[in-house]
Amino acid sequence: MIRELRNELSLEEREAIAHIFTKGYYELSCFNGISYVSHLILQLFENTGILELLKNKYTTSNEIIAEFNFIPNANYALEWMLSFLNQGGFLKKMEDRKGARYCYEKIEDIDLQDLFQKTVDLDKNIIPSAKLMEYCLSEYPNFFNGQKKGFEILFAADKIKLWVDYFSNDNSGYCVYNSLGAFGVLKWMKEKHNIRFLEVGGGTGGASAALIDKLKKNLLSRISEYIFSDVSPVFLRIGNRAIMNAAPDDFQYSLKRLDFDKPIVEQGIGEDEVDIVYGVNAVHVAKNLANTLKNIYKVIKPGGMIILSESCRPSQDYLLFQEVIFNLLDNYVNVDLDKDLRPIPGFLDYEHWRSNLEASGFKNIEAIFNTDGIYPDDLRTKIDTLAAVIKAEKI
């Protein structure tokens, strides 16, 4: 299916994707990013004593929690870290009746500061991603010990700037998702006027600003109303500033506090009222993804569509390094699971996105992936699907 979709892209479109996901992006955000996060975790394990335990015997996450008197709620994030290090070849793994056990695999030592500096020397615009991850890893001991909740860590008043910088279009470690989303809207937005556009989970407004910048050329006037929504009043204020800075004075938009975990039709948007629902790295945190997509489906007009730009797992069980940030949050981890539609929390692989959209009633599902760009052979053999923009229609 993916191969068929690739054949539908023009040469110009493939070049545009390669311009978004450059060779430098893969070197910085993927290859270096994986190594950097892995060594941040190893540093955390060394500072807390976990690494010494892993050097001596095969150990489970539950045994680590018992040994260091961590709170039970630490288990998901800790198990993720162990699995991530195993995925990267830093830990060995074996299975027994108690589950997965891990043991340290001796590797060549890397100087974290040197790795950070080499990365920054290649692209200083990667710093916001590194800084947010460094901050999260520095606070994990407080989270493991129950001294702070994840929400307190990530959304402390003096840390909001970390989020603004992280989601900014100036952060080369994240802006690709905003750019890919805008690419999808430009490709799939139909030739019509008076389009009512709803962005869900708008956050700090980086995706909105990127989209408005692309639409300014000739398409912005076709949108009669742009509804920027988020559940957080703080993000609504920040997003409003981002839109004001990006949009022309006559651009019609409104702000709406909206929780997509609840029925949207009960929050002031009626059935069959919206032409396009748009979200960038937002909908995957839905408490019940199937219900959220069905609620979104209700407010879309017949002939309208949902367009989602998402960090995408190459396969169901592949761990993405940016999850080290979001594993602190209950609403990322504690979601309703389904063995067929949503087997694990957080980001989804494309096949599960497709299955969820189909189950919610959507048709004509298409996707464009970061791998669809034109890349040299030596790079193409190294990259996986890590991002997708997905379109699904209400017939």
Looking at residue 187, which CATH number applies to its domain? 3.40.50.150
User: Which residues make beta-bridge pairs with 94?
Assistant: 101
- Tell me, yes or no, whether 54 and 99 share the same domain: yes
State which of 166, 196, 221 marks the end of a domain: 166
Q: Which of 69, 17, 8 is nearest to 386 (CA)?
A: 17
With b for 16 or more beta-carbon neighbours within 10 A and e for fewer, the 96-135 pattern comes to: eeeebbbbbeeeeeeeeeebbeebeeebebbbbbbbbbbe
**220, part of any domain:** yes
Q: Which helix (H) or strand (E) holds 253?
A: strand 253-257
Decide if 11 is inside a domain.
Answer: no
User: Residue 19 domain-assigned?
Assistant: no
Neighbours of 16 (CB within 10 A): 20
Strands 300-311 and 387-393, bridge-based pairing: antiparallel
Amino acid identity, residue 233?
P
Q: So what's the pLDDT on residue 123?
A: 84
Does residue 14 form part of some domain? no
Q: What is the C-alpha separation between 290 and 357, in angstroms, rounded?
A: 8
pTM of the model: 0.95
* Residue 7: per-residue pLDDT: 53
Number of domains making up the chain: 2
Segments of the chain scoring below 50 in pLDDT: 1-5
251, exposed or middle or buried, with CB in 10 Å at 0-12, 13-18, 19+?
A: middle
Are residues 241 and 306 located together in one domain of the fold? yes
Q: For the segment 165-186, what is each residue's pLDDT rounded down to a tens digit? A: 999 999 999 999 999 999 999 9
Q: Is residue 9 part of a domain?
A: no
Q: Are residues 252 and 365 in the same domain?
A: yes
**Residue 232: in which H helix or E strand, if any?**
none
Which residue from 259, 133, 282, 264 is spatially nearest to 205, judged by alpha carbons? 282
Asked if residue 241 and residue 348 are part of one domain, the reply reads yes
What's the rounded Cα separation, in Å, for the pair 315 and 141? 30
One domain, residues 271 and 123: no
Q: Which two three-digit tokens encode residue 326?
A: 């979001």
Ramachandran region, residue 270 (left: φ > 0; alpha: ψ -120 to 50; beta: rest): beta
Q: Would residue 129 count as lying in a domain?
A: yes
Residue 3 is predicted with a pLDDT of: 41
* 96 assigned to some structural domain: yes
Asked if residue 179 and residue 147 are part of one domain, the reply reads: no
Give how far Cα 257 sits from Cα of 212, 231, 262, 266, Å. Answer: 20, 5, 12, 12
Residue 3 located in a structural domain: no
Distance in Å from the first CA to the final CA of the chain: 21
Cα(357)–Cα(297) distance, integer angstroms = 9
CA nearest neighbour of 50 among 133, 141, 138, 115: 141
Taking each helix axis as running N to C, give the angle between helix 112-122 and helix 33-48, from 0 to 180 degrees, rounded to the nearest 10: 160
The answer to whether residues 79 and 213 belong to one domain is no
Domain that holds residue 94: 25-166
Are residues 50 and 191 both part of a single domain? Answer: no
Q: Which of 149, 166, 183 is the last residue of a domain?
A: 166
Within 8 A by CB and 6+ apart from 358, the residues are 365
Both 305 and 332 in a single domain? yes
Q: Residue 101's pLDDT is what?
A: 97
Q: What are phi and psi of 333, to 5 degrees?
A: -90, -45
- Token pair, residue 182, equals 């805008």
Q: pLDDT at position 89, please?
A: 92
The verdict on 281 and 361 lying in the same domain is: yes
334 and 192 co-located in one domain:
yes
CA 184 to chain centre: 16
CB-facing half-sphere around the CA of 136: CA atoms within 13 A: 28
Of 166, 193, 224, which one is at a domain's C-terminal end?
Answer: 166
Residue 22's CB: how many other CB atoms inside 10 A?
17
Residues 154 and 219 in one domain: no
pLDDT for res 2: 44
Per-residue CA distances from 298 to 231, 264, 354 (Å): 19, 8, 18
Rounded to 5 degrees, φ, ψ at 184 are -65, -40
